[in-house]
Amino acid sequence: METLNNMLLAVPKMATDDYVGFTFFVGCMAMMAASAFFFLSMNSFDAKWRTSILVSGLITFIAAVHYYYMRDYWASGNGSPVFFRYVDWILTVPLMCVEFYLILKAAGATKKLMWTLIGASTVMLVTGYWGEGVDRDNAWLWGLASGLAYFYIVYLIWFGEAKALATSAGGEVLKAHNILCKFVLIGWAIYPIGYMAGTGGWYGGEGDFFGMTLAMDVVYNIGDAINKIGFGLVVYNLAVASSSK
């Protein structure tokens, strides 16, 4: 009992009005629940979709573990967990790119396309972290490099090889691909916006974007949960529709 009490006392306490900490906690719970859902549903589908569902579960599980840690980091008064957020992204964002390859594999997607998407996402994240966490004096330059990598991903899935493969596949695959494309174009847009709001030399001072002071951790937390769980649900719906046929 004494050990349990000591463990409870060691857990950082959050204020009741700490909405940043609250979104860390809710994000963790939501993504853990999504992981359980994806993992437990794997055997409900044809074998060709199980890897896609597994990857969806891994994405939300990895994020849930990081969010559990980031919640404690925030509650301990250490500020925004920039480094650990990028550690989460460097693991989960490339996996989200892998989902494009997996759903298009039957249509002829090659591993070259997969590694191109993974490479572009890695460049996007590494340069983004370098500008936000290391070389903030040149944040605009690193942000530009990160943005170019992001738009290259957008090009590949909206107009390039990935789009051509999805069009040739048609049906449910094309529908799922188009929805995932919208997640990347619209949902992932919070990340460059957050970068510009969190580093100086853009449209205002640090923490300012077009005159708005943003609690970017809240935006990131909500956006992350929507993007990662949403990605998985799109793949899940594709697996359900394809398996039923």
Sequence ranges of the domains in the chain = 18-244
What is the fold, at CATH topology level, of the domain defined by 18-244? Rhopdopsin 7-helix transmembrane proteins (1.20.1070)
The tokens 């640090």 sit on which residue?
206
Grade residue 205 by pLDDT with cuts at 50, 70 and 90: very low
- Tens of pLDDT, residue by residue over 52-107, are 999 999 999 999 999 999 988 888 877 888 889 999 999 999 999 999 999 998 88
Number of H helices and E strands in the chain, helices first, is 10, 2
Q: pTM to 2 decimals?
A: 0.85
- What is the distance between the alpha carbons of residues 150 and 124, in angstroms, rounded to a whole number? 6
Average pLDDT over residues 213-225: 77
Write down the pLDDT at residue 14. 59
Q: Considering the chain, what is the average pLDDT of its residues? A: 83
Q: Per the structure block, which two tokens stand in for 68?
A: 């559990």
Cα–Cα distances (Å) from 110 to 92, 107, 113, 117, 162, in that order, read: 21, 9, 5, 11, 10
